[in-house]
Amino acid sequence: MAQKKQTNGAENHAGTTLDQYFAKDPERLAQNLARALEELGRAAASWTEAREKGESSDITAAPLADMIRTFSRVSEYWLGDPGRALEAQTRLFAEFMGIWANAIRRMSEENVGDYAQASTTDKRFQDPEWGRNAFFSFLKQAYLVTARWAADLVDGADNLDDITRHKARFYVEQMSQALSPSNFLLTNPELYRETMASDGENLVRGMRMLAEDIAAGKGDLKLRQSDSSKFRVGENIATTPGRVVARNDLVEVLQYDPATKNVLKRPLLIVPPWINKFYILDLNPKRSFIRWAVEQGHTVFVISWINPDERHARLDWADYIDQGIRFALDTIEVATGEKQVNAMGYCVGGTLLAAGLALMAAEDDNRIASATLLTTQVDFTFAGDLKVFVDEDQIRALDAAMRERGYLDATRMATAFNMLRAGDLIWPYVVNNYLRGQAPLPFDLLYWNSDSTRLAAANHSYYLRNCYLENNLSRGRAILRGKALHLEQIKIPIFNLATREDHIAPAKSVFLGSGFFGGPVEFVLAGSGHIAGVINPPEMKKYQFWTGAKPDGELDDWMAKATENEGSWWPHWHDWIIAQDDKKAKARKPAKSRKSLGDAPGDYVRIRA
């Protein structure tokens, strides 16, 4: 019995031996594997049926072709010269020889670490068996050196322009994340142990979830990141009291109940992105920017965009400005009697707001007295990894796909955003959901992230071409209603917030955009990223923000002279608003005469894709 427990001197973290890697009940394991295959067949059937019925279509040809072209450029450099090719192969061979020599040392010496070390923050390789078991240790190290070698090939290819190099780095990172041994049952010690311990029950549960998620995505994988059954919009999420005070075919306008006797005279209009739903600003009472703003004495109005369908196919940015922003301004004037407001735009909602301000400046519409832009890009020179998905071929393929239905499926854009942080938002959930068979825990932020929206064809096409592809907005070449948009004509005060770790609207890009406006700009850099850096209530006492001089020159130079402030940027913003106009008025309650419109958060936000 003592020999059976012998394992070359290594025990796992649970104190058991290699017998944990053998099936306890082979017959039951075989039955569960058959059941898992059955569930996998259901998943495949859902995928096929959606395409046969025309409910889903694949538009991966253009991105795949672009990836192949990009890698061909990298290969062209290294294979075009025999000396360079030999150099590259020799470097990889030397790395593998280093792993082999290190393994020999470990057989005779104690306390010898791995040749290739994973980052201490890399959650994929936390299990002790990745270091103690020779098989899994080799897999991990071989993966790490190969992934780093591939990244070095991209960085060392001198024939690449900046755009191609950016794409190559992104594609290499995606492939490296996908091919990690932690993502596969037979090469992940944790997964393998759990499969043997449960005789494959985890795979049955996982394949069942996979089939459910493909069915929920109507032929595409709708990756579940949170237990959606625990959340109800309007009940335990998006609960700040208010009413729907206006509605058209594109938006509902929400007005929130006051929390103070007196309020700032100028109302606050929030223009959220239509790519996600507005309640990121009202997740729960403790983290709700909307509730906090109301408590500071703002009369808050919010645009809630409809989840578009084929009826909205031809609505472009001019329609979103007219039926969204201008419709909301008309509604505010009727509700409060005020002709001037403070406006706030978040992400692409801020980009639309900037375009709207330029159009309104050209038409002498001065109802917006100040504008706050949260993680907003108006110049897309340094727009980050999303530019990988934007070139003429890929946009043409998207246009063709959108013409069939009039919109882009919600899953497409959600997948693109998740790919920006695949190591956090894709592969951990693939492993936990479909291989470990564990349903995700409830998390309001990830519930919101998965509550995706479709994208109207004309609107999305205009955005991709005029912003990401041609950068027309900052260059004065974007046309709406026959008028060229000039950001320098926007003379009102601008509060421009970037976040330091933003992967969607990089801080460098937001900072550069500050220079295109014609009026004073207060640039603020917040800690953390695109969501956490914005949704940062003062009570949480997290992160920090930097303030400084006029945003000229380079971001690094501005940062060198900036002042670091602890905590949330919210109070600083509120002080800035008061500095623009501190006049007060009696609190305004939402009118209840149009009872049919209902309470906040309204109906449009509840439409699921």
Distant-in-sequence, close-in-space partners of 14: CB < 8 Å, separation ≥ 6: 20
The bridge status of strand 479-480 relative to strand 483-484 is: antiparallel
Q: Which amino acid is at 234?
A: G
Angle at 390 between CA 385 and CA 393, to 5 degrees: 145
Q: Which one is catalytic: 347, 504, 512, 531?
A: 347
Quick check: 293 and 324 in contact, CB under 8 A?
Answer: no
Q: Can you list the pairs that 469-478 forms with residues at least 24 positions away whose Cβ atoms lie under 8 Å? A: 469/390, 469/391, 469/392, 469/395, 471/379, 471/380, 471/381, 473/351, 473/354, 473/355, 473/378, 473/379, 473/380, 474/378, 474/379, 474/380, 474/513, 474/516, 478/355
CA distance 320 to 332: 17
Q: Which amino acid is at 393?
A: D
| Phi and psi at residue 265, to the nearest 5° | -60, -40
Q: Are the C-beta atoms of 401 and 378 separated by less than 8 Å?
A: no
> What CA–CA distance (Å, rounded) separates 387 from 295?
39
Furthest CA-CA distance within the chain: 89
- Strand runs labelled E in 262-381: 262-264, 268-271, 300-305, 341-346, 368-374
* SS3 state at 384: helix
Tally of CB atoms within 10 A around 102: 17
Active site residue 467: no
- Give the residue numbers annotated as catalytic, written as ranges: 347
